[in-house]
Structure 1
């Protein structure tokens, strides 16, 4: 029988999947396979295979840029629910709407790039809104549920596929496209990887997205852990596929400078488990072809990668006859259906966290929330409620939001409730924003012409100066909104919301732009990839002489002064041709208009002479003819006079005094001062909002502060004096309804924080500090003052915990215990309670978490209802990553079992004995340098060609970090100020208990670069040490036994092999020269702790001790 496109075996749904896949693969030519390597997979017309685009977003609702979809609260807000069932239901809606989009587009929508499960160990991360918090257990559990909900329940077919991202250690935006994150084995296996593991083993994810960053010197799109761990250990091999992040193929050459050519990148990616390239097909296909032709990769490796993505497409039903795949059935339920509206509202309700609910100094002596709208308005007050703040009538979207079918603001939801009872006079609304206008210094007004251009008007003015509502988001970030035009002021670089930069496009050049003015009042929203509506109003009186004569000079150390951006000579190499892809650099920039000369209080500069600086660091100059110019290097910037027409804070105080109770809505705009590519400049409220809060609170102490934000804040003493504080993330379509349901008591709040809210930002480590153990980050290790702890959240009801029972007082490896208790609602309202189960381990040889989440359950309890709760604990849940053996190990010791309402509100506790085995001593025969027990001033980076990194220490790095900027910040103190680098970590200081400590030893401990390896067994006596290292001039390696007191046991003068000073800071990667050398040492016997002290610039990969040497002996 002659086969046709319809009768090929790969089209037969009755055949096994692998048989169908094999049939399809053998029919593809090499060129057709290459065309399936990019995420924009080409059509194979001769086989009847349509074009398909891999990639779509679904963080908190499916993203249809051209249509509408159900939008839920930002992911960090959803995580506040701690509700597995809610996540499963939301996942189902996302999957359904992705399928509906695929039916409409016919090209994509089914391969979702979500959830974002990067561990949020630092609160300044710009993309905090996208993640699930700082805890790997909570993140993994919630991610698994939303994945299973989205992918569907069919045993074969997938509704969609989910790609958890970004694998891994991706928690900084600045330099994300080029940086290397130093992650040691314990942090890696105990903290950064478990959430991803659960996404695959429990969530059954069918895809993965790699991160832009490097881990220990290797870009993640070519990292061996993708193959070895995700594919081979977690089971994605033969099941699903791995994609890179956008444009990461070119970034590996242009930003990481890891390879010379894209062909090398693609070959390395395929060899290490990546299957699909999220980059321009015009780049990927020729590069992959070149890799084949040069023998950098084999056709078998190409086949494996292409088959991986096709295997998932088979599960989508792409190659089945119509009507076979159950998810092909038409979906009649749209985003506005009652079910989806109710789910979106419930999601907001469950995301609301009641941080504080005290009794105000005025009015009835009861907690301020829930609001009592029925009680009489007190004498002297004209209104029941004053709703104040810049967020009262806004429902903000973020970059990963879909377009909601409708938006309900707080004002929309609260106004009718109050006015129905008290009339219009009972409700006051005040956005509390300044209104300003601008003139030149000689009095000519800035006006808006008929085309929306901002121009200079005539004198005397025929048209008054244009009025703008100024939203001051702090740190030099302002938007200017024209109430008359109902548009924002924007610069000439105005883009479609969904548009990202094109190759060769230079938005940093000069020019006046469209029309006669580079400034136009035409933007309907601030939402954009490039926030072209942002302006810095630089106070002229604080600008230095250099700034007044050339403000743009402040950018001389800015993001675009990079070697790759210079014009290449003679056409240049592929790296140098980065200029032709000008926006490869936006992958690594911190694009924000905030200026380094804006002092702490300068954001409150509200009128007077000011320079206008744009989002991309250009400054306004007005020439003699009155034409506007925006110039990046402006030598004669033109100041404008900013006039305050309406005082927003004054109006807010007036409104606050006129009402019984104030609802003050503060927070952030999700695309300003914290977003993809932009880390937060501070944890504080914007200074304008801080001043507003303090003024309103002074005017009316009955103030409820509502923080609507993508991330946690630090509140000072005056700010947190408000009697009631509520937090929720931006909630999109049902934001107002869900929040007001909680404020008025229709629903009791039960949201819980998935992140620690620190009391102070001072003392937090640099955002590039990825060692949470040593730096004391997250609730597991921090001893810093905390404003609101992980897991915190209050209720309108009252719950009692009782009857804690453990099924056994002992727990051995391979066994588990059951922990039970009873929770009773003894309060006045039916309410939800989130019961949290924590464990702390005592008796370890290594620093352990103060406590770790091991279980949680969200319960709904009627008034008076008692509900039993059960958690199960395995001994393996308490295992530590043993750096000596490279695997998890259950130690003997005691475990504190804790059940409570937050990580610091523990209601019940007991202890059980853990029957583990003591960690065996290290074998001296072979030690990988990165398997240390502790360190100071060093970092991990690649030894090229090896999956195991080396320990690097350089004098340059030590000088850079010695102030505690990145490493060694403990308990909020710099190491030179703290008692020991181990203080507060539950581990004795090195040598403590063995030798008396003295000042000189302490000085050595705190000032030199050292690495510690505990309990090395020098059985039989060792007289030679063999090291594999790269060393700069004049470098020595010192060996100390048991402590840093006294003289070293040995000093190894390492011969110069290379210059490593620049790693990893240089734009180009030097080729390091490594050597394996043996040195005779005085005999060592028994078990000892070993300190290695680096003197000079040194990279150490591994070392061993022996009675004889296997390498040449250096004398």
Structure 2
């Protein structure tokens, strides 16, 4: 364990930031005078007028108001990953992994602009409501510090939070993050529409024991893979803050890691670093890295944490810990000033201290879930649909007007995830296609007490969602046929059909079935208690032992029902995938890449009944799917316009252009341990993996064809002798040789022909082209030669090997259409 002194990091002070002499008593000095010129204040001036006690209080996430200075209360953090989350009805865009699949920087910028406009509207209508003394609970405090985007790399497709990242590649992730952050920040040179914060620093890509497990990250992997995803958007200038991850890296908790100072603050000394929820206390309570909270909080502050998200809204423990830390000399007032000053600067950037000069002050509620944003949500949903396989070449439902059956639990549902807002409306795939039949594919069952005296319950639609790392026993949902509501466990332990959908931080709609003699014991996955029949005939989950045995009576077989519907329809669209709240989400990693067993059986039954089946995968992550279905599409959970987007792709109204943001492996067999981050030695991602895969990084098909030709390379050197100042320009022609207008994602990769242990290939540039049928366009990429550099561990800096290299340009990391050698 490092000492507090070893972890000490003093960032560069804010310009003209006055530092007062520390006192042994935070409340002993007289109050500074009032602020001059209200409406034209800056962070440094405010900081100088705060007492030490006031500044210590501002180290907590929920900063108190300071009425004597006209300073309002402030809270860091508003969820804005793919729309405004946790506040209410708002535009819901595709999940981040779906946005990453668009490979479209300008689209990401416009989505960020829309999201930040809705954040502003919520915030400014809140202020308006509070001024009218309306009910506070109806108008929650909304922060202009948005906790988005997530730039953790999608190295392991089993990661529960796979849906939150953009790509397995650091360059692509950085480019998407830059675009989204620019949209969130806005174009005004002085005032930020919102203040984006990147999550989660560093090497955070596993949920199992995430707050006590350590990621093993070799030095080269750290500098070549993990750090660039953060560095690119930070150095671009549109990032206001960063959040550390829960995990440890090479044995050191991220919340006291020296890299906060030596990396993050080296790129931008003014970044506000906000802790993840309860992570400061975890340093003692879970990680056992420090003996006391006073020591751990002091170490986190000295490492560079500015805002402590701890103990929910109760700031008292944080205040007490820092007051004692200051009294004991573990932190100085200068250390406190540096942290508070950075958060005040973030507030200043959003125009809070100069409301009359705020160009975004007029944004109001009419932009929330507006028609304009709905159109953008549809555009994004279409742009994120990846055509994985299409043996016929043409759209599978083009000019088709016969009977379509949509089969599968997800075919008639639009699901949200933990960080989604409330859908303003939803178009399911069945609705988008105007399906003649929509069949769930799940069994209809009665739940009976095996003794016969406790009665029966149901009927229910029963879905087996399979297992996860955290729950090796399969979890199940039971949805009332009569009401459409799900069985859920209330706070009083009563089990009733009362939930609209599985949801919540703790999903109380999941049950485990333990097979015992005579039937099954039913246990709540949320509480661990077994279900019994109470004296009044209701179900109660309050037993520590399986005292009541149940039987599941199948009234109708979902597989049989699906097969009949498939056989009677001319075309079938089978929809499989995940529920983002079940078995693959925050705190829960997947234990394989396979579909749940029931969905595997459904896929086989439907395809056997009707070979004219199209498979649509709606999921937060890749699957290893073994099927010969000729047309397969993938989309993330794409928000309110999911069904319209899928219908437009299947009918050919829209030509697909999305590309996979991560490798789809053929199996989880042979994948490294989730906490093995050595992508080089363990051969993770497209850069190093030689494993069998279903579809490569960057893969995606179109209904038209593109030809690449005339690749030329030229090198421009500066007056310096250093290769780091040189640029390689690649120029080529791309022609749409098909009969349909379409868009192509042109991808440029590099590889060393001489270097040892270099990537098989590495993405260095990409662009999205829109080309009418028969037309050509010249594409030019300017690639800094620094893209060829590797981290030299001996010299402790990036270096470019002399030798032969190759530029490879194509439609995916494996579908290379043209290449050319050059020397460095």
Q: TM-score, normalised by structure 1?
A: 0.67
Identify unmatched segments of 5+ residues in structure 2. 1-30, 128-140, 468-473
2:496 maps to 520
- Match for residue 865 of structure 1 among 775, 798, 814: 775
Distance 1:840 1:678 in 2: 36
Distance 1:162 1:353, change over 3 A: same
For the pair 1:135 / 2:169, whether they are aligned, the reply is yes
**How big is the shift at 1:109?**
2.3
Q: How does 1:917-932 map to 2 (within 5 A)?
A: none
Larger gyration radius, structure 1 or structure 2: 1
- Match for residue 790 of structure 1 among 694, 697, 706: 697
**How big is the shift at 1:338?**
2.8
2:679 maps to 772
**How big is the shift at 1:618?**
2.5
Residues 69-96 of structure 1, C-alpha deviations (whole Å, 9 max, x = no match): 1110011011110000000000101111
Whether the 8 Å contact between 1:714 and 1:758 is mirrored in structure 2 is yes
Distance 1:705 1:838 in 2: 31
1:530 maps to 506
2:276 maps to 245
For the pair 1:356 / 2:389, whether they are aligned, the reply is yes
Whether the 8 Å contact between 2:170 and 2:226 is mirrored in structure 1 is yes
Distance 1:58 1:809, change over 3 A: closer
Distance 1:715 1:218 in 2: 38
Residues 340-379 of structure 1, C-alpha deviations (whole Å, 9 max, x = no match): 11110000000000000014xxxxxxx463413446xxxx
Distance 2:38 2:754 in 1: 60
Residues 544-571 of structure 1, C-alpha deviations (whole Å, 9 max, x = no match): xxxxxxxxxxxxxxxxxxxxxxxxxxxx
Distance 1:334 1:156 in 2: 23
2:446 maps to 437
Residue 278 of structure 1 aligns to a residue whose secondary structure is coil
**How big is the shift at 1:633?**
4.3
Residues 762-804 of structure 1, C-alpha deviations (whole Å, 9 max, x = no match): 1111111111111111000000001100000000011111111
Distance 1:285 1:465 in 2: 52
For the pair 1:467 / 2:459, whether they are aligned, the reply is yes
1:801 maps to 708
**How big is the shift at 1:813?**
3.7
1:112 maps to 146
Whether the 8 Å contact between 2:663 and 2:697 is mirrored in structure 1 is yes
For the pair 1:683 / 2:593, whether they are aligned, the reply is yes
2:808 maps to 898
1:24 maps to 46
Distance 2:548 2:400 in 1: 56
1:428 maps to 437
- Match for residue 221 of structure 1 among 255, 268, 285: 255
- Report the aligned-residue RMSD: 2.0
Whether the 8 Å contact between 2:614 and 2:630 is mirrored in structure 1 is yes
For the pair 1:539 / 2:449, whether they are aligned, the reply is no
**How big is the shift at 1:140?**
0.2
For the pair 1:302 / 2:336, whether they are aligned, the reply is yes
For the pair 1:371 / 2:397, whether they are aligned, the reply is yes
- Match for residue 98 of structure 1 among 116, 119, 122: 119
**How big is the shift at 1:22?**
2.9
Q: How does 1:908-947 map to 2 (within 5 A)?
A: 908-914=818-824
Residues 667-716 of structure 1, C-alpha deviations (whole Å, 9 max, x = no match): 11001000000001221011100000001111111110000000000012
**How big is the shift at 1:403?**
1.1
Q: How does 1:144-183 map to 2 (within 5 A)?
A: 144-183=178-217
Q: How many residues were matched structurally?
A: 767
2:656 maps to 749
Q: How does 1:291-330 map to 2 (within 5 A)?
A: 291-320=325-354, 322-330=355-363
Distance 2:536 2:344 in 1: 62
For the pair 1:411 / 2:430, whether they are aligned, the reply is yes
Whether the 8 Å contact between 1:82 and 1:752 is mirrored in structure 2 is yes
Distance 1:863 1:485 in 2: 50
Whether the 8 Å contact between 2:444 and 2:461 is mirrored in structure 1 is yes
Q: How does 1:70-85 map to 2 (within 5 A)?
A: 70-85=91-106
Distance 2:704 2:143 in 1: 43
Residue 502 of structure 2 aligns to a residue whose secondary structure is coil
**How big is the shift at 1:466?**
2.1
2:35 maps to 8
Which structure ranks higher in relative contact order (CA pairs < 8 Å, sequence separation ≥ 6)? Answer: 2
For the pair 1:338 / 2:371, whether they are aligned, the reply is yes
Distance 2:539 2:419 in 1: 35
Residue 141 of structure 1 aligns to a residue whose secondary structure is helix
For the pair 1:614 / 2:520, whether they are aligned, the reply is no
Whether the 8 Å contact between 1:536 and 1:612 is mirrored in structure 2 is yes
Distance 2:786 2:619 in 1: 37
Whether the 8 Å contact between 1:368 and 1:702 is mirrored in structure 2 is no
Residue 193 of structure 1 aligns to a residue whose secondary structure is helix
Distance 1:5 1:370 in 2: 72
Distance 2:93 2:512 in 1: 32
Residue 405 of structure 2 aligns to a residue whose secondary structure is strand
2:135 maps to none
Whether the 8 Å contact between 1:335 and 1:341 is mirrored in structure 2 is no
For the pair 1:393 / 2:412, whether they are aligned, the reply is yes
Residues 966-1025 of structure 1, C-alpha deviations (whole Å, 9 max, x = no match): xxxxxxxxxxxxxxxxxxxxxxxxxxxxxxxxxxxxxxxxxxxxxxxxxxxxxxxxxxxx
Distance 1:623 1:660 in 2: 49
- Match for residue 478 of structure 2 among 460, 477, 480: 480
Identify unmatched segments of 5+ residues in structure 1. 360-366, 376-382, 419-426, 445-455, 458-463, 494-512, 542-607, 915-1115
**How big is the shift at 1:411?**
1.5
1:823 maps to 734
**How big is the shift at 1:862?**
0.4
Distance 1:64 1:491 in 2: 22
2:224 maps to 190
Whether the 8 Å contact between 2:811 and 2:817 is mirrored in structure 1 is yes
Distance 1:632 1:775 in 2: 45
Distance 1:275 1:724 in 2: 51
Distance 2:240 2:639 in 1: 29
Distance 2:484 2:773 in 1: 49
Distance 1:411 1:626 in 2: 38
Shifted more, 804-813 versus 432-441: the winner is: 804-813
Distance 2:162 2:433 in 1: 29
Distance 1:155 1:863 in 2: 40
Residue 166 of structure 1 aligns to a residue whose secondary structure is strand
Distance 2:501 2:365 in 1: 31
Residue 116 of structure 2 aligns to a residue whose secondary structure is helix
**How big is the shift at 1:328?**
1.2
**How big is the shift at 1:721?**
0.5
Distance 1:68 1:334 in 2: 12
1:581 maps to none
Residue 163 of structure 1 aligns to a residue whose secondary structure is strand
Residue 199 of structure 2 aligns to a residue whose secondary structure is coil
Shifted more, 135-144 versus 27-36: the winner is: 27-36
Distance 2:457 2:542 in 1: 24
